[in-house]
Structure 1
Amino acid sequence: MKLVQTQFKPDSIQIGVSACVVGQGVRFDGGHKRLGFADRDLREFVSYVPVCPEVAIGMGVPRPTIRQVEVDGAIEIVGSTDSTLNVTDAMSSFSQQQSQTLDGLSGFIVCAKSPSCGMERIKVYHPDGHTLRHDSVGVFTKALMERYPLLPVEENGRLCDPVLRENFVTRVYALQDWQRMIHSGLTADKLVKFHSRYKFMVMASHQTSYRTLGQLISDLSSNDLQDVADEYIYGLMWALKQRANRKGHTNTLMHLQGYFKKFIGTEERQALADVIDKYRQGLLPLMAPMTLIQHLLVKFPNEYLSNQVYIRPHPDKLALRQQL
């Protein structure tokens, strides 16, 4: 049984990935499920940690297909055409052990529909072969998510959706940012500054969390710092998982616009307001008002706004906001 181990590296973003998703021929038939965005676009900015649970437990390539079967209320992993092939114990053991060695990751991309790696809607069969339901999770992915509840996890298929893709990458960068801060040594000052940089990001994603996290940070002297930090990062990652919609973005953009009202003339102010409103109506992508705001920041520097993660949550080259 081959395990992969990681350690956190503050100067790089490590993402776990089902090996087939980055083009490795490890599927049952020797093929792969290469995702262009992962293997081409995102690869420039991250280091991948490939994992294939089925190969890791010695099933080899090619190999018989497997599926989840419910037997007496418990899930077993057995051969799709040969029920005498049972890898339940091996898969469970690998999943539990492997999931404990991935502390250095900031995200994970898994393969959809896989009985070992799928994130959701995995088929569960009756021993007689008919489908019971479509609501299970891959054995390895389930262990991974239980071990690391903060970890952004997404399926290859879902990452074809521009909203889900941008949301996932935003969360990966946010978690790595947090991990880097914790790695350098947690202090009250660092926590306050971290929250300050994420205020507009949270505002766009979830208004209630914006208020709750602000209240949590407001009085660090009365509570244990580590307890506050633990509660904060759980709240932040949950908030960022809520996909920001046009209403949330529009509200945030209008707040950003307010910082320039003393510096720009009527025409510039109206032009920005018009672009924000066109975005609200769905006539322009998010990049349109964001580009104007970035331009204004060059003309009228503002350290507080420049430090906001919302302005640039991930590399521009990924162009993740062009379809939002």
Structure 2
Amino acid sequence: MSEKIPVGISACLLGANVRFDGGHKRLTFAADQLTPWVQFEPICPEMAIGLPVPRPALRLVKQDNGEITLRYSDKRQGDLTIAMCEFSQQRVAQLSHLCGYIVCAKSPSCGMERVRVYEPDENNNRKAGRGIYTDILMKAMPWLPVEEDGRLQDPHIRENFVERIYALHELNQLRQQGLTRGALMAYHSRYKLLLLAHSQPDYRELGRFVAAMHQWSTLDDFFVEYRQRLMDLLSHQATRRNHTNVLMHVQGYFRPHLNPRQRHELTMLIERYRQGTQPLLAPVTLLKHYMAEFPDDYLSGQRYFDPWPEALRLRYGH
């Protein structure tokens, strides 16, 4: 997976001065750390519908009939809802190639969650909305990994997002190369340990689904359903407990090859990770050392050990 991964992003998060006040919300993680591996496609929906910079701030307003509309926050006349919806639908229809999207939090056009929704003609509001553009995006592409800039400050959410965009990128490449049952089976096999770290019950259920691949009339129909189920599973954050179970499972492959001191060292390192005194990187690094010393075809192909470029340093702190 050497080519860059296509990811959409709110233009202000790359440092473009497109916000209502003429500023930006540059996200260092995206602009600096992800850029070597990701091909960002920046979009500012508000500028795309013809609004200038600077401009009056916008807000979501709930009408008496329950409809959510996009209006100016300074109460000036103008309903931008139709323009934003039409642009969003047209633009989103061109984005099926994307493997992820990073949106600007709190924005009435781009916010993913807890966007303020105001009552008509007053300032009463609830943090209960989603930006119009992002809402249309997520409904049209429910499998797509989408995150907000603020949430990506959390190392666990950051790791999960990057893991998902890499998994989806590899899956999309299979489709581009021409789907075969063998290729899909091999892909699923490569992700088994990673899926186990997210949810053992969901992993088993997905395994049964894959085993019934032959029952589907077309591989493309199967792909669409598999993609959704896979991304739903990966959207649940991996847990320390599940990671520990995976590490202990892998440890079993090496027991015949290790002397008592090595077995004890590995066991204690996994236990210290379980207790939270060592980062995941510590036992994974030792296991990768043993994988090099005692090669195993199944383990060497597992994405669990290298789900993203090491330079992103995502497993260093937890």
Q: TM-score, normalised by structure 2?
A: 0.96
Residues 213 and 236 in structure 1, CA contact (< 8 A), matched pair in contact too: yes
1:94-149, Cα deviation, whole Å (9 max, x unpaired): 11111111112100000000000000001000112223321111000001011111
User: Which structure 2 residues correspond to residues 235-246 of structure 1 after superposition, within 5 A?
Assistant: 235-246=229-240
| SS of residue matched to 2:232 | helix
Give unmatched runs, 5+ long, in structure 2: none
Residue 10 of structure 1: CA displacement? 8.8
Identity across matched positions, percent: 47
Structure 1 residue 186 corresponds to structure 2 residue 179: yes
What is the alpha-carbon root mean square deviation over aligned residues?
1.4
From 118, 122, 129, give the equivalent of 1:129: 122
Distance 1:272 1:98 in 2: 51
| SS of residue matched to 1:262 | helix
From 267, 270, 279, give the equivalent of 2:261: 267
Residue 53 of structure 1: CA displacement? 0.3
The answer to which of 185-194 and 222-231 deviates more is: 222-231
Give unmatched runs, 5+ long, in structure 1: 1-8
Instruction: Give 1:223's aligned residue.
Output: 216
Partner letter of residue 265 of structure 1? Answer: N
From 286, 294, 315, give the equivalent of 2:288: 294
Partner letter of residue 250 of structure 1? Answer: T
Residue 30 of structure 1: CA displacement? 1.1
How many residue pairs align between the two structures? 316
Residue 82 of structure 1: CA displacement? 2.8
Structure 1 residue 18 corresponds to structure 2 residue 10: yes
Distance 2:229 2:121 in 1: 44
| SS of residue matched to 1:260 | helix
Structure 1 residue 60 corresponds to structure 2 residue 65: no
| SS of residue matched to 2:59 | strand
Residues 123 and 131 in structure 1, CA contact (< 8 A), matched pair in contact too: no
Structure 1 residue 167 corresponds to structure 2 residue 160: yes
Partner letter of residue 63 of structure 1? Answer: R
Partner letter of residue 147 of structure 2? Answer: E
Residues 209 and 236 in structure 1, CA contact (< 8 A), matched pair in contact too: no
Distance 1:113 1:87 in 2: 18
Structure 1 residue 305 corresponds to structure 2 residue 299: yes
| SS of residue matched to 2:254 | coil
